[in-house]
A and B are shown apart, each in its own frame.
Chain A
């Protein structure tokens, strides 16, 4: 294909999304069906099908973008393909029934750029998504891939590279937001002990529930990451690099391996890169799926083949990292930003974003939101713009309640702060954090105590168990939260919870433990009334904590509207409902196990929850 693509001009390029989301929605089958249909119509010399990385609009997968024209087709099925090929690719008529219709509008929007989800995005890290086949290095090169590398290797000194990165204001995209240029400078300055050598590490151990930007970048544009790492290696004087990827990302691992092989074949990796005399190579290390291995010291221990648990810092990896050598660890997204900064200059990059947070950030938008997906937006954009303009608002017209940012250790930001500009400082100020960029949107039906309990159960499960506050503290907090959501909380629990949270934040060993109390602290800060309701009146305002719910049947609605349909009685698991057809049904409170099935099955709204 690669060879063919080089010398063959096609009239149409069908960009089939082959990110993990769309692949699991059978996008490869669609690709095959497209190729088959195209052949059937004799169009194989005019139309080509290109598998690309994730487009970000995963909610709408599988996605097909037709170029030229940027025509956006979504939620395709194999059976739609013959019609689509005949109408659009043969006859040239756009097929509106496969197009996307934004929730507020009635008419489908044919062109990708006109769709609100895409319109407000600024693509830097995801610049090649949907535009190249990630398994073909030539397509990456055509999109200016490795151009920055040439510049860095031939025109720039290491100091010049570092200065450029420093001036750009790029900060670590993995969560903590440490200035990247400064980190590189520290590693460059660090004296390498025992025999020299420094290392570059790319952290792709993305473990936050619902976050998938690193995966998407590795799947859509692995060469951007490789190029960034080689530039970084030149800047700090490293000779070897590692990409640490979760083994749960098979597609990312596969695409990255292909990309590494291709780069090596082209002499863009290995010894004497592009004949400039610079040597550097990259290995993939696959993680076994421990969340804590995303923490840099635990990650390094894992690469070294030791138990993946964090160690105290200092010494920082910049001083003593992998095998005791100075090591520069950056996140996938950070590395992907580097070539663009070198190519277009620090000034251009620093022109995007806010005073302290420059450039763009990729967020994964999940939860109670219409447009689930991956978005890259300039720093400083408001939560409102992300949630309503890009995300398309809350499904079912429900009210927005809070957004949880920064993964399981982030905090919940309430509705009142919806105009908060997104940058490192303001998120921290609000009690949350940037994290790797997960955004979980919650609507009015979400119980904040339950949410805190959910995230605590995650951090408790993923705590490595090395230090006391994290190991025992997350367990203690989880116990208390479980108690509260079961209606067994006491007045003292809130105080104890607060004490625990503050103490754990203060005294845990690594980032995982230090941030684990964030969901508790922010929900206590913004939604204290919900905690109090659970404890004092034994009520869950959102009716999520089922143990606190009381189910009753309104006899009037049951008889008059539902005519005593009897569905609830037949579905009741504990035989708590009595009644006959055309009669009012009654729930026996003593027998009710509060499973909520009657509420779910009643079509007439006769079952009330209180």
Chain B
């Protein structure tokens, strides 16, 4: 392996930080919570989860926490996600597809505008985290 220069060290730091940052547990701008109860998984929550992971990767975003939780109780409208921008009330989206998820990620998570047509409601209960 070629010896590192100071710039290389900085590069490694930035690169690895992206993948390990979520171990720090704080300092996230937004949280995406995919509901993955049995009902959610059956309705395709895994596809939604993968879509978000892909978004995070391709767009090189690392200040967004992606997590999962159990059934939200509204099994008929799965797959569901709850998006919580730091300091704002959480928003629940229902009946998602991969495409919808991408749109929500772009507009809401990155852009800060709620995608009203997919949203179930604003407010409601907070998650444990």
Contacts of A506 in B (CB 8 A): none
* With contact pairs A141-B9, A274-B4 given, residues A15 and B23 touching in the complex (Cβ less than 8 Å): yes
Q: Which of B9, B36, B37, B56 contacts A274 (CB 8 A)?
A: B9
The reply to whether A9 and B25 contact each other, CB–CB distance below 8 Å, is no
Q: By the criterion CB–CB under 8 Å, are A68 and B25 in contact?
A: yes
> Once the chains are docked, how many angstroms separate the CA of A91 from the CA of B36?
5
Q: Which of B9, B24, B38: most chain A CB closer than 10 A?
A: B9
Docked Cα-Cα span, A267 to B25, in Å, equals 32
Return the contact of A91 from the options B2, B4, B37 (Cβ within 8 A). B37
- Which residues of B23-69 have CB atoms within 8 Å of chain A's CB atoms? 23-25, 28, 35-38, 41, 49-50, 53, 56-57, 62, 65-69
Q: Which residues of A contact B35 (CB under 8 A)?
A: 92
Residues in A with CB closer than 8 Å to B66 are 11
B1 touches A131 (CB 8 A): no
Number of residues from B at the complex interface, CB < 8 A: 39
Contact B23 A67 (CB under 8 A): yes
Select the residue from B13, B19, B22, B56 with max chain A CB neighbours within 10 A.
Answer: B19
Q: Say yes or no: is A132 at the interface (Cβ < 8 Å to chain B).
A: yes
- A68-B67, A265-B1 in contact; A9/B23 too (CB < 8 A)? no
Contact across chains for B13 and A6 when beta carbons are under 8 A apart = no
Contacts known (A46-B49, A68-B22, A274-B4); A142 close to B16, Cβ less than 8 A? yes
Check: A69 CB closer than 8 A to any chain B CB.
Answer: yes
Task: Classify chain A's interface size.
Answer: 35 or more
**Given A68-B67, A275-B3, A275-B6, A8 and B13 touching (CB < 8 A)?**
no
User: Binary interface profile of A, 83-110, with partner B (CB < 8 Å = 1, else 0)?
Assistant: 0000000111110000000000000001
Query: Which of chain A's residues have a CB closer than 8 A to the CB of B20?
Result: 5, 13, 131-132, 139, 142-143
User: Interface residues, chain B, CB within 8 Å of chain A?
Assistant: 1-6, 9, 12-13, 15-20, 22-25, 28, 35-38, 41, 49-50, 53, 56-57, 62, 65-70, 128-129
25 pairs from A and B in contact (CB 8 Å cutoff):
A6-B16, A7-B19, A9-B18, A9-B56, A11-B68, A70-B25, A90-B36, A90-B41, A91-B37, A91-B38, A93-B70, A131-B20, A131-B23, A132-B20, A138-B16, A139-B20, A142-B13, A142-B20, A147-B9, A265-B1, A266-B3, A267-B2, A267-B3, A268-B4, A275-B5
Q: Top 6 A-B pairs ranked by shortest CB distance?
A: A267-B3, A142-B16, A92-B68, A67-B23, A92-B69, A68-B22
